[in-house]
Structure 1
Amino acid sequence: MSLDLARLGLAGRPLRVRDLPAGPGDVPAAAFDAGRGVLSVRAVAPHRGRFVGIEAVVPDAQAALAAQWPAWAGGGVPGAIEDFGCARAETRHFPVGQAPGVACADAAIQISMWQLPDRIVLAVHNTDGKTAKNADIQLDLDALNLTPKLPWQEFIGVRQLVAEEKAPPPILDFYGRRLTLKALPPAGGRVIGVRRY
């Protein structure tokens, strides 16, 4: 399939291709030749489809995100974080203890944040090396620009982007303006995305 990269606003820019498996057992099947603007997808079974994303990347923003990524989360920035839109020039990073509109009463819970106009990503770390903890995080949704402006048309979504296996899902109490992460493991953490849709 040929793509007109100029009409898509992607010509002459570094690109990233994400081939998203459509179901269990699927393996990546897309190849992209940016020079020719040709996307090839192989092994699409009858009555099946593939989801392939192509986006322009900002190398400086990717490098900044990699430099800001917490050591406790290890292994470099996961694709889920970039897929959530954090590697952009307009992303603002707030180190531990400096995130406006975000607070936790437990001093052992440290939080850093990346912010865009319609979303935040929180890296929540339990610094207690011996005890699992629940993190009750107060979120000022108004200050964070996350309060839906069109009732019944917009909503807030919460996604667990990085977590240990079988981690309980995050719980957002919209009216109480509280995000709860249960049983953060000792010296571990999770990365949570909160977005206004």
Structure 2
Amino acid sequence: MDFIDIHTHKKRVSENVISVENKYPVSLDFSTPFSIGIHPWFINKNKIDEELLILAQKLQHKNCVALGECGLDKAIKTDFELQKTVFKKQIQLSEKYKKPLIIHCVKAYQDIIAFKKELKRTQVWLVHGFNKNWQVAQSLLKNGILLSFGTAIINNKKLQEVVAKVPLEKLFLETDDKDSTIVEVYVKMAKLKGVPLEILQQKINENFRIFNFSETN
């Protein structure tokens, strides 16, 4: 059974691992499973329309798993209203091409939830690299937003307490830009949840299928 790395910035080709590599509109290699989006860090107001056209094209690629990462970040200088405009347009593309949304969020969780409540959508939303407290996690989960956890769960005691409360059917695992392997993250999660590694693999594979993460959707 495969290990699924739902979000990585590194090209990882390993047996029994499905790695969803994050791509940008300027990327060139789409030969393996990928997600693609306009990250709030890299918004260029002069290229938004051009990049949205590229997204629309690549979302139809046979190896495309999801739209993202995209989202909102209040820790950067990019105008927040512009961020929201670009995010909303990507939400619309997610719906049009029936692709799940992988979300980058910094200090903007209530804004993400507000978008979720405002917009009618059918595709799943997944906040990647979640490392906040249970109150934030609970708010996201109550609004139908899934959580992806990375290598921070290995040593972050407070985050481990949050992980213990998140249902297996509402989570994914990732390596993001870290050097650790996805297997290490799985092993730690299995220990934290008190389940055999094979059961964790089975549940995340089910999530991958149920929530429409697939190159052939």
The TM-score normalised by the length of structure 1 is: 0.30
Larger Rg: 1
Q: Which has the higher contact order (CA 8 A, sep 6+)?
A: 2
Greater fraction of residues in strand: 1
Greater fraction of residues in helix: 2
The TM-score normalised by the length of structure 2 is: 0.28
